[in-house]
Chain A
Amino acid sequence: EPEVTQTPSHQVTQMGQEVILRCVPISNHLYFYWYRQILGQKVEFLVSFYNNEISEKSEIFDDQFSVERPDGSNFTLKIRSTKLEDSAMYFCASSSSPASGEQFFGPGTRLTVL
């Protein structure tokens, strides 16, 4: 069964460093998302992406964040200058049709900022 994959599974970085989190969505999906979950808290929406454009973003998704689809298969989330409070689990999701309501989530990347 096709699934969303994410790499790395765990990333440790120093405050102020740039990180890139990678996702490979399900191959025929065209809608992509990033969410994050700070330990013990709710899953929060960050951004949605379609047709090489951001379609919606949350207040969390400030200028330090960017997303890109560099090729036909990868979808990346970049954090330019990490802060301690960026430590969280980051989930990528994809969908074939938003109206279907179903987003397929990857296993997540645990980001630890020291």
Chain B
Amino acid sequence: SQQGEEDPQALSIQEGENATMNCSYKTSINNLQWYRQNSGRGLVHLILIRSNEREKHSGRLRVTLDTSKKSSSLLITASRAADTASYFCASFSGGYNKLIFGAGTRLAVHP
């Protein structure tokens, strides 16, 4: 089964606007993580939210987790052109070894 499916697939906004990306998953999780990937580059860990948490903040990032709906959202407030990247949710499948990534949301922030 797929673990971590983001929507929208692509999002285009103006600088200063907020960007919201959603992730749904199918199996039980211990935690859910969000990563950023600049074009052709490595994955940068943004934030981790545990299954007993509902909301978490880090700077301009806000992540929510709804385990009853098996969904999470990532909100980037006051977006900047430098936020342009792909954003992936990821969670562990059966233990703490294998991270399963979603297909990602491509965010474009226009100056």
Chain A residues proximal to chain B, CB less than 8 Å: 31, 33, 35, 41-45, 48, 55-56, 58, 89, 91, 93, 98-99, 101-108, 110
Shortest distance from the beta carbon of A11 to any chain B beta carbon, whole Å:
15
Check: B72 CB closer than 8 A to any chain A CB.
no
- The answer to whether A101 touches B41 (Cβ under 8 A) is no
Q: Which of B31, B50, B97, B104 contacts A42 (CB 8 A)?
A: B104
**Chain B interface helix/strand/loop/mixed:** strand
CB-CB under 8 A for A58 and B98, given A101-B48, A104-B45: yes
Shortest distance from the beta carbon of B33 to any chain A beta carbon, whole Å:
6
Contacts of B45 in A (CB 8 A): 102-105
Contacts of B50 in A (CB 8 A): 101
Check: B92 CB closer than 8 A to any chain A CB.
yes
CB-CB under 8 A for A105 and B44, given A42-B101, A48-B98, A58-B98: yes
Taken residue by residue from 67 to 111, chain B's Cβ proximity to chain A (1 for < 8 Å, 0 otherwise) reads as 000000000000000000000101010011111111110000000
Bound CA span A63–B48, Å: 34
| Closest residue on chain A to residue B101 by CB atoms | A43
Check: B10 CB closer than 8 A to any chain A CB.
no
- The answer to whether A45 touches B98 (Cβ under 8 A) is yes
CB-CB under 8 A for A48 and B104, given A43-B43, A43-B88, A107-B41: no
CB-CB under 8 A for A101 and B92, given A106-B42, A107-B42, A108-B41: yes
Bound CA span A58–B48, Å: 24
| Closest residue on chain B to residue A110 by CB atoms | B40
Since A45-B100, A104-B45, A110-B40 are in contact, a sample of 11 more A-B pairs with Cβ atoms closer than 8 Å, ordered by chain A residue number, is A33-B99, A42-B104, A43-B43, A43-B101, A45-B98, A55-B97, A89-B40, A98-B97, A99-B96, A105-B35, A107-B42
Check: B12 CB closer than 8 A to any chain A CB.
no
Shortest distance from the beta carbon of A38 to any chain B beta carbon, whole Å:
12
Check: B30 CB closer than 8 A to any chain A CB.
yes
